[in-house]
Amino acid sequence: MADYPILDISKLITDRQLIMVGGKGGVGKTTVSSALAVAAAQNGRRVLLISTDPAHSLADAFNRKIGSQITRMAPNLDALELDPDAEAEAYLDRVMQQMRRFAGPDQINELQRQLRLGAQSPGAQEAAILERMATLIENSEDDYDLLIFDTAPTGHTLRLLTLPEIMAAWTDGLLKHNKRSEKLGKALSHLTPGRSLDNPLKSPEENPVEDMDQRSKELTETLLRRQRLFQRTRRRLNDADHTAFLFVMTPEKLPILETGRAIAALGDADIPVAGVIVNRVMPETDNNSFWQARYERQKRHLDGINTLLADRPQLRLPLMEDDVSGLDALGAFAGVMINNEGRK
């Protein structure tokens, strides 16, 4: 009998609408994500599997090209690889189209220059990926029963999940600034009716104050729409009945320490962690001193996992004899997960 709570994979892929799989790089997140998606699809759920990791491995896991367009992988199973560079470029293009309505012809070149610089700034890709993720989550309910995100390594993912608060604060600041600008414009209109600081010779018939009011309203509504989208996404992430976050780790020192810190950080953000999957657990061996030493070290790490994550459900998966690649291999690996063959 296992001395830790058992993670029920069948219940997870049946009950949840959103599963996010994270962990340190190289621990098998993509294999686990893909196997979960295959199992859910074989169980009759309509599944969209999405990779947000810039170093995409979904195509390798399925031995199929995927890319940035939704691709049918099997009955009930579609997959998508989000390209951070492409998402950031598309995001900034949308911003540029909106800003063209608020900027004069002489300001467009400077805006384009600033946006090009913005594309290279820290957080630009994360913001773009978050907005795409939020849109996928928001618009997927009619087409899919379950979304599974194969996320980037832990640090990237934690920044991604805390962006709703950052973006909300940023949006609030812009809205306040916009409101102050609107009040200033109205005050100036009383001092110089029919004129603006940009063009004091403009005739009253052109009514710059009304134009500014309209632009201000449109900008405010755009900002509020994005803020509401992020807030709805965050509510879904916080809903343990809707969302599950799974950590994948291997029984080694660095993944254990990183997973412990990540779970604590998600707890501070009220993100529900359904459990951990301990991957590549070696079988016991006593006929080789090297492998026996490795096995004993692993056993100590597994005891450490029990101590560090005593209240978290676990699933332990064996070290496989061969690479898990292709639909059949993923289906077999999913069977190992569901049957808890690696629990001991």
Is 101 domain-assigned? no
Cβ distance 257 to 297 under 8 Å? no
Mean pLDDT on 333-339: 91
Please provide residue 116's backbone torsions phi and psi, each rounded to the nearest 5 degrees: -60, -40
Is 140 domain-assigned? yes
* Cα 315 to chain centroid, rounded: 23
Which of 264, 324, 225 shows the shortest CA–CA distance to 336? Answer: 324
Is 60 domain-assigned? yes
Q: What percent of the chain has pLDDT over 70?
A: 76
Is 97 domain-assigned? no
Mean pLDDT on 56-63: 88
**What CATH number does the domain containing 23 carry?**
3.40.50.300
Q: How confident is the model at residue 205 (pLDDT cuts 50, 70, 90)?
A: very low
89-101 residue pLDDT tens: 777 777 777 667 6
29-38 residue pLDDT tens: 999 999 999 9
- Higher pLDDT: 129 or 217? It is 129
State the DSSP string of 67-101: TTS-EEEETTEEEEE--HHHHHHHHHHHHHHHHHT
- Identify the pLDDT of residue 163: 67
Per DSSP, 319 falls in state: P
Q: How confident is the model at residue 204 (pLDDT cuts 50, 70, 90)?
A: very low
- Identify the pLDDT of residue 335: 93
Is 303 domain-assigned? yes
Helix axes 84-100, 124-139, angle to 10 degrees: 90
Is 111 domain-assigned? no
Cβ distance 21 to 33 under 8 Å? yes
- Identify the pLDDT of residue 226: 78
Please provide residue 102's backbone torsions phi and psi, each rounded to the nearest 5 degrees: -110, -10
Q: How confident is the model at residue 197 (pLDDT cuts 50, 70, 90)?
A: very low
234-249 residue pLDDT tens: 888 889 999 999 999 9
- Identify the pLDDT of residue 219: 66
- Higher pLDDT: 223 or 51? It is 51
Mean pLDDT on 195-209: 48
Is 80 domain-assigned? yes
State the DSSP string of 126-166: HHHHHHHHHHHHHH-TTT-SEEEEEPPPHHHHHHHHHHHHH
Instruction: Print the domain residue range for 209.
Output: 14-89+121-338
123-160 residue pLDDT tens: 677 777 888 888 999 998 889 999 999 987 777 677 76
* Number of domains the chain is built from: 1
User: What is the torsional sign of CA 303, 7, 34, 237?
Assistant: negative
Mean pLDDT on 169-179: 66
- Higher pLDDT: 282 or 194? It is 282
Does residue 200 have a pLDDT over 70?
no
Per DSSP, 240 falls in state: T
- Higher pLDDT: 83 or 91? It is 83
109-121 residue pLDDT tens: 776 776 666 666 6
Is 282 domain-assigned? yes
- Identify the pLDDT of residue 177: 62
7-21 residue pLDDT tens: 999 999 999 999 999
